[in-house]
Amino acid sequence: MLARVSSTPTFRRLPRAVREQQMLDAAVKVFSRRGYHGASMDEIADDAGISKPMVYAYLGTKEELFVACLHREGTRMMQAIADVVAPDLSADERLWRSLQAFLGFVGAHRDGWAVLYRQARGEQPFAGELTALRLRIVEVVAGMLEHTLRSEGREVTETELEVVAYALVGATESVADWLVDHPEADPEQTATRMMNVAWVGAAQLLAGTTWRPPNRRGEAPS
């Protein structure tokens, strides 16, 4: 065959580390677009410019590949946040910077993270992985809240903190979803809005300004 006329040098035979990253890039892209089950290993391999057995050789089965994606993106996200929070900042600023970094990250990786995250929740094998990540975040947030509260001399139960932290994290994820669907929106401004509802709400609550259910006519308080 006379083929391979060195048109584009076709860059074949790349070192493993490089190929692995290309594969992961392709996998994230395809998983995002098609969903875990909708994605075929053939398409991923194709998109990475490589053949299927290579994917199996380097990253293992489909499940392992997905976990690898999850792991890489998760680590990147956590890193993006860790890079901007310094322990000497005030609680509110730490929270705001985290929000900013998080939403900024999601905004920059629309394709990647948010959809990957949406994917992973449904599938049994990965729910655990995700829940763990989520839990770590929730604990960080709960920690922030607790610290702030304790420093103001207020007592709160573990459960109360946990629920509030979950609410905050859920709210943020939801706003992240919104952000993914609104490319024109500015992550920083969104973070500020988010901060408003979250911080002001939490602060008020923690300061003791609670809302109590109205006693409706005739109902005896238990």
- Which stretches of the chain bind a copy of itself, using CB under 8 A? 34-38, 92-93, 96, 118-119, 121-124, 159-160, 162-164, 166-175, 177-178, 185, 190, 192-202, 204-205, 209-214
In this structure, what token pair is assigned to residue 45? 């391999």
Nearer to a copy of itself, 22 or 192 (CB): 192
The interface partner of residue 202, options being DNA, a copy of itself, none and the CB cut-off 5 to 8 Å by kind, is a copy of itself
Smaller CB distance to DNA: residue 61 or 174?
Answer: 61
51 binds DNA (CB under 7 A): yes
- Give the chain's length: 222
C-alpha span between 161 and 39 (Å, rounded)? 39
Minimal distance, residue 160 CB to a copy of itself, in Å? 6
* CB closer to a copy of itself out of 50 and 198: 198
Residue 155: which of DNA, a copy of itself, none does it interact with, CB under 5 to 8 A by kind?
none
Which span sits near DNA by CB under 7 A: 52-60, 92-100, 161-169, 206-214? 52-60
Residues binding DNA: what is the number (CB under 7 A)? 21
How far apart, in whole angstroms, are the C-alpha atoms of residue 175 and residue 146? 24
Judged by beta carbon, residue 12 or residue 212, the one nearer DNA is 12
Residue type, 71: H
- Could you tell me the smallest distance in angstroms from the CB atom of residue 120 to a copy of itself? 8
Q: Does 62 bind DNA (CB under 7 A)?
A: yes
CB neighbours (10 Å) of residue 20?
17
> Which partner in DNA, a copy of itself, none is near 153 (CB below 5 to 8 A by kind)?
none
Which partner in a copy of itself, DNA, none is near 62 (CB below 5 to 8 A by kind)? DNA
Q: Which residue has the tokens 């401004």?
A: 189
When the beta carbons of 25 and 177 are compared against a copy of itself, the nearer one is 177
